[in-house]
Amino acid sequence: MKVRLHIGKVFLVMLMAIMITGCSTNKSSSKSGNEEGAVSTEGGSLVIVRLADAENLDHHFMNTINAASVTHGKVYEGLVGRDENADIQPLLAESWNQIDNKTWEFKLRDDVKFHDGTPFNASAVKTNFDRLLDPNVNAPRAGVFKMVSEIKIINDYTVQFILSEPFAPLLSILASHEGGIISPKSIEKFGKNIINEPNGTGPFSFKSWTPGKEIVLVKNNQYFGKKAKVDEVIFKIVPEETTRTSMIETGEAHIAEPLSVTMMDTVAASSAMEVYRSEGFGTEYIGFNTEKKPFNDIRVRKAIAHAIEMDSIIKGVFNNVGKKANSLLGSQVFGYHAGLKAYEYNLNEAKRLLAEAGYPNGLKTILSTNDVKERISLAEVVQSQLKGIGVDVEIQVFEAGTFIEKRNRGESQMFINSWRNATGDADYNQYNLFHSSSKGPAGNVFFYSNEKVDQLVNAGRIEGDPEKRIQIYAEAQELEMQDAVYVPVRVIENVAAVSKKIEGFRISAAGYLEINDVRIK
């Protein structure tokens, strides 16, 4: 096996004797009562230990749910948000009205201030979206709001979003981290530069960031809504998983995420912690750079897809945590195509396609992944399976930030990746991952281009009839599968190790850590 490690050390902790069937399947780590008479109190420091640091703390530049989980709904808030059932609810806006198919009006709260004391008002909303959409700022998240042609101030607490074309999923985007409202003073201070000192309206304010080590937030006692239950939140970066879970055992931490399937039974057997599990919007997949040899040939991509036996991977690598995917849309996402068929396992067809593409004796390629245990294990199984058609795979493992940078620059050939889908709407997946205008950091790391798919994605954005939108996205997903842009792996489950000393923690379907209601016992 060829494995090139591009990180200082990668620990492959494989607990082969552990069967995951004994794992907890709680949807929440919260208990209805306190254990052994423990009393839940407000205050204290909540410590969350995580695999990777945020790449930045600016929602206009933020490309990962990992980073957004630090600030979204905690420091930054949007005009609207989502409740526990993922339904859209008022937040910084009290109400909204779609005046016509290109005009949305929002009535804003008049009792909100940013953490720096600046009043929240219509001018602040306009300042945010003007910055996000300014081509000179070149914010990577600008594309998701490119249909916004003007933010029109009606009065101090009323704004209108004037669109260049109808955009059906506007509220879903406004509820995601891209819709987070930043203090105008911070925008004035940092301008075109990335804001790494976040200043919002949320229940927590920013205290400090030591890159690679920790991010600290503190309770906002002037928050207009329901106040946080803890005084402080510390996000610590701890790359080694056994260390993360040990910190919960010793009481040094309360939440450890992500949690690998190989550690789930160990956590479930602990007297100090338990396993949190919930189904997410996102999916995990094996992607191809369609502009890079040999994957610029559709026959090679199809051959790989036919040569991977996914049922054994779901069972052997993931121990049935997360169901097998047939699309890059999770089954809870609006627009999911339940009838989509992935490529069947067929080695003879795979060999035929390779020979037709000019590789009768196979080929050599590189499969890259970040340093997550399951993904390394998945890479190793794929490496073994592809030997069956003469494909010699070299595995490259990178720490998360390096992996993202190389993937976004198009330097990967074949890669293991995920897309969390922050909005629960197909548009967020389809436009970001498959539209030709989204190549690179915006999400289309396949560097894929199909004019018909572009047309369908554009049509899905402007169509107001939900049933017609579903049909549009079904056709787009069919074309993407025909082009073998990716191999779907599984629908992601959100999994974390959680101390029995806390209650009220959850992970949203989008993958955001929800901690505003957490109490420490």
Domains in the chain and their CATH numbers? 40-58+200-276+497-520 (3.40.190.10)
Q: State yes or no: pLDDT of 123 exceeds 80.
A: yes
Tell whether the model's pLDDT for residue 7 goes beyond 60: no
Residue 148 has pLDDT above 80, yes or no: yes
- In this predicted structure, which of 18-32, 138-152, 309-323, 394-408 has the lowest mean pLDDT? 18-32
Binned at pLDDT 50, 70 and 90, residue 14 comes out as very low
Q: How confident is the model at residue 39 (pLDDT cuts 50, 70, 90)?
A: low
- pLDDT score recorded for residue 315: 95
- Look at residue 90 and tell me whether its pLDDT is greater than 90: yes
The residue written with tokens 């592809």 in the block is 386
Contact 477, 325 (CB under 8 A): no
Q: Which of 3-12, 58-67, 135-144, 382-391 has the highest mean pLDDT?
A: 382-391
Contacts of 85 (CB under 8 A, 6+ apart): none
CA torsion angle 50 55 57 61 (round to 10): -140
Q: Is the pLDDT of residue 396 over 70?
A: yes
What pLDDT score does 61 carry? 94
Checking if the pLDDT of 18 tops 50, the result is no
Residue 63: the pLDDT is: 82
Mean pLDDT in residue range 297-317 = 97
Distance, in Å, from the CA atom of 292 to the CA atom of 507, rounded to the nearest integer, reads: 36
The whole-chain average pLDDT of the chain stands at 91
How sure is the predictor about 138, in pLDDT bands with cuts at 50, 70 and 90?
very high
**Tens of pLDDT along 328-338?**
999 999 999 99
Contacts of 322 (CB under 8 A, 6+ apart): 284, 314, 490, 491, 492, 493
Is 17's pLDDT higher than 80?
no
Distance CA 429, CA 434 (A): 8
Give residue 86's pLDDT band: very low, low, confident or very high (50, 70, 90): confident
Name the residue with higher pLDDT: 418 or 40.
Answer: 418
For the sheet with 486-499, list strands across it.
Answer: 3-5, 391-398, 363-370, 414-419, 273-288, 486-499, 255-257, 45-50, 232-237, 214-219, 204-210
pLDDT of 29 reads 38
Of residues 371 and 343, which shows the higher confidence score?
343
Greater model confidence, 74 or 373: 74
Confidence of residue 28 (pLDDT cuts 50, 70, 90): very low
Q: What is the mean pLDDT of residues 321-331?
A: 94
Between 235 and 420, whose confidence is greater? 235
Structure token pair of residue 267: 């956590």
pTM here is 0.79
Average pLDDT estimate for 93-97: 98
pLDDT greater than 80 at residue 172: yes
Q: Residue 6: is its pLDDT beyond 50?
A: no
pLDDT at 42: 85
Amino acid 64: pLDDT: 87
What is the mean pLDDT of the segment spanning 64-72? 94
Please say whether the beta carbons of 94 and 109 come within 8 A.
Answer: yes
The pLDDT-based confidence of 401 (bands split at 50, 70, 90) is confident
The tens digit of pLDDT for each residue in 359-376 reads 999 999 999 999 888 999
Question: Is the pLDDT assigned to residue 24 strictly greater than 50?
Answer: no
- Residues of the chain with pLDDT > 90, as a percent, come to 86
Note the pLDDT of residue 40.
57
In terms of Cβ atoms closer than 10 Å to its own Cβ (0-12, 13-18, 19+), residue 31 is: middle
